Structure 1
């Protein structure tokens, strides 16, 4: 196969992969962020301590995480058909990709939020800040570098999942590698696909690490005292409103 024949295939495959990963990442962040925070808040000693609720949420997350992605795709076929009207193609692949990524991202969020300095939380509580204020002004901003790193990890994992989704007709780079590289013995095209995936993952990882390090350095330079002053001011403003 010549380059002129491979180029349109690779361009469409790259777009399909980015489309699937982009939308599934967005859904995973929207669904996984509050779920991960809720795991922290409802745990022992949390602001919304409820061990029963915590165990239920934790078990649901664990079960969803333990399911292999290929099995998850098959198990969700009826649900995917209800949402998208089909079980084939990139739009259909977004459903299992997002559902599989939500619990994965939620556990990463839980770990990131637990690393937040408890002294800042206690300081805002002493100023009269409620749970929503603590989440919005302390937990999420302080955990932001780790949350960005967690998002990067999720994106990289979803790229791998999307390649697996290509084996069942979802399109993307995985579909090209299987259909042409494996089934038709077009090894050149397969290795080009592998190289593209490696470059994309490297770029995403570099960008995510750079953003996380930049935010971490900025937060470290601020120090605890300025943070407390800002939190005090924002808490007072919230009370006034």
Structure 2
């Protein structure tokens, strides 16, 4: 559930975040109207609480997955919630790239696409990896909430067995597993950041 929604989030959130930077005033291809629309979409997506979003897009979930129950159905709201979140992280990471590096690439005749991939993404890679790490951890939190609404997973285990059946040991073990999982992901993310950071 978390893995699949992470892949979808990166595939759609990365270009969306780059588009926010490229179309911004002073960007590689300024487009104020498009930038405003994209920014509003991202802000609206980030402002809706996940539980409300999950219920609100049930028709879309049913259309795409054929069901509103189980882990597959949870991938849709998880991705919809995480894409704007990750896009904003991408935007912030790419904005930190020194303008001089972009200007140098322009002076040697690099194309816009070449600058985006070869300069902006490459230079912002450590921050982008950090953004992916934060997003995965956020998705783990969201998936636990989704589990409480019939999406299975650790959240369902904690609610159905730990809470409703008064099995405190199950609740404690579930919380410990989530904490360990988050710590491992954070450690892995930090290690990857160090590996890709050549500054």
The reply to whether TM is greater than 0.5 is yes
The alignment yields a C-alpha RMSD, in angstroms, of 0.6
Is 1:201 the counterpart of 2:196? The answer is no
Instruction: Please list the CA deviations of residues 90-138 of structure 1 after superposition, one character each: whole Å capped at 9, or x if unmatched.
Output: 0000000011100000000000000111111101100111110101110
1:109 to 70, 90, 114: 90
Q: Following the alignment from structure 1 to structure 2, what is the Cα–Cα distance between the partners of residues 48 and 72? A: 33
The runs of 5 or more residues in structure 2 that have no matched partner are none
Query: What is the TM-score of this pair, normalised by structure 1?
Result: 0.82
The residue correspondences of 1:80-229 to structure 2 (distance < 5 A) are 80-216=61-197, 219-220=198-199
Q: Secondary structure, in 3 states, of the residue corresponding to 1:169?
A: helix
Q: Which residue of 2 aligns with 1:79?
A: 60
The runs of 5 or more residues in structure 1 that have no matched partner are 1-19, 221-241
User: Alpha-carbon deviation of 1:214?
Assistant: 2.4
2:37 to 56, 62, 68: 56
Q: Secondary structure, in 3 states, of the residue corresponding to 1:128?
A: coil
Name the larger-Rg structure.
1
Instruction: Please list the CA deviations of residues 162-204 of structure 1 after superposition, one character each: whole Å capped at 9, or x if unmatched.
Output: 0000111100001000011111100001000000000000000
2:15 to 34, 48, 55: 34
Q: Secondary structure, in 3 states, of the residue corresponding to 1:185?
A: coil
Query: What is the TM-score of this pair, normalised by structure 2?
Result: 0.99
Count of residues in correspondence between the two structures? 199
Q: Which runs of 4+ in 1 moved over 3 A?
A: none
Q: Which residue of 1 aligns with 2:2?
A: 21
